[in-house]
A and B are shown apart, each in its own frame.
Chain A
Amino acid sequence: MDNLDTFTEILPFFIPLLILQLALMIVALVDLIKRQRVRGDNKVLWALVIVLVNIIGPVVYLIFGREE
C-alpha cells in the first residue's frame, strides 16, 4: 500500500475531528468579532491565539478573553 492509499483510507476518520476543531475556532472568532471589548484590549492578538493554538487557543479565549 503506498502513501496515497493510506492517506485516502485514513482521511474520512479524521474529518469529524477536523470539523470539531474548526467549529470551536469559528465560535471563538465570531464571538471575538462581535465583542466590543476584550481582555487586554488587543483583538488581533486574540485572533492569532485562536487560530494558531489548536484547541487550547479558542478555549482560553472563550474563558478568559471575553469581557462582559
Chain B
Amino acid sequence: MNSFEWTEAKTVEDAVARMGGSSVVKAGGLDLLDRMKEGISTPARLVNIRNVAGLDAIREDAKTGLHLGPLVTLAQLDASSLVRRRYTALADAAGHAATPQIRNVATVGGNLLQRPRCWYFRSEDFHCLKKGGDTCFALEGENQYHAIFGNRVCAIVHPSATATALVALGARLELTGPGGKREVALEDFFVTPEKDVRRENSIGEKELITAVRVPPLSQGTRSVYLKQGEKESFDWPVADVAVVLERSGVRCTRASIVLGAAAPVPLRVRAAEEALEGRAVNEETARVAASAAVRGATPLSRNGYKVPIFETLVRRAIMAAA
C-alpha cells in the first residue's frame, strides 16, 4: 500500500471541495482498503466522510417515500423494522451481504459505488481492460463467476447486492457536486462496459451520493430478494434476484425484476416483467417469467450453470412475492 494523506471532511460542501485529482472519498473504506492493499488504487489523499453529520438517516414519508443517507450501514438496513417491513428486498439484500463485521461498517453509498470483484480486475498481476489494458482475461479464461449477459467487452458482474434490490424498487440517487445537487434514477446511473469500460457508474469526479430515495410503494406491493452463493457465510452471489410485484386482486399490475451478478450492471429483465403484468401470479406464470428472464443469456465457457440458477431464483422469488 502506498503512503497517503488522510483528511477529515466536516460537511458535504467541505468534502466536495477536497475531492478530485488523486483524492478519493472514504466512507466505510472496505472496498477502498482492499484495492489499496492490492495496489489497484493508489490515492494520494483520502477524504473521510464518515464523520459528516446528517448522512446516516433512515426515514419514510408517505409522499416522497424512503430516504436513506449514504452512510447508513448494511447492518442498519438489515435491522431497520421500517425497511424490513416495507422494503423487504432491500433489508434482505443488505442482510445477506458479506459478513456481520463488514455489514457493521459498510455503507449503502459505498456498496453502490464499489468496484467489481472480478479476480482479474482485483489482481495486480493482470492489466485488464478496466485498468487500461487491452484484454478482458475472463472472456477466454476462468469465468465461472462472471457475467452471462452483456459480457461481450468485459465480463464483470456488478457486485452490489443493495443495487439489485434498489433498482427493482425504482430507487433514485441524489448526487451533490460543486454545482449543486442532481438526481438520477439508479437504473440509469450504472454504465455498461460498451459505454465506458473504465467505470461502472456515472458519478462525477467531484460528486458525492448524498441520498438514496425509494419512491412510495402502492398498498400490497411486495418485494423479495434471493441470493445464491456457493457458500452462505462470506460469499458473493453466483446469482441474486430482486422481484417487486404490485397487484390488484390476484392480478399482477406491475412487476419489476432485476438480476444481480448476471451482467456488468444490475439487469432489469423487462421480458420477464411483461410475462407477469396483467396476469395472475402462479407457478405457471412464474415459470414463464423465469424462463423469459434468462432468455438471450450468452454464458461463457465456465458459467453456463448460472443460467438455470437464475431461472430458479426468479421463479422462487416471484412465488415468494405472490
Question: Are both chains from one complex?
Answer: no
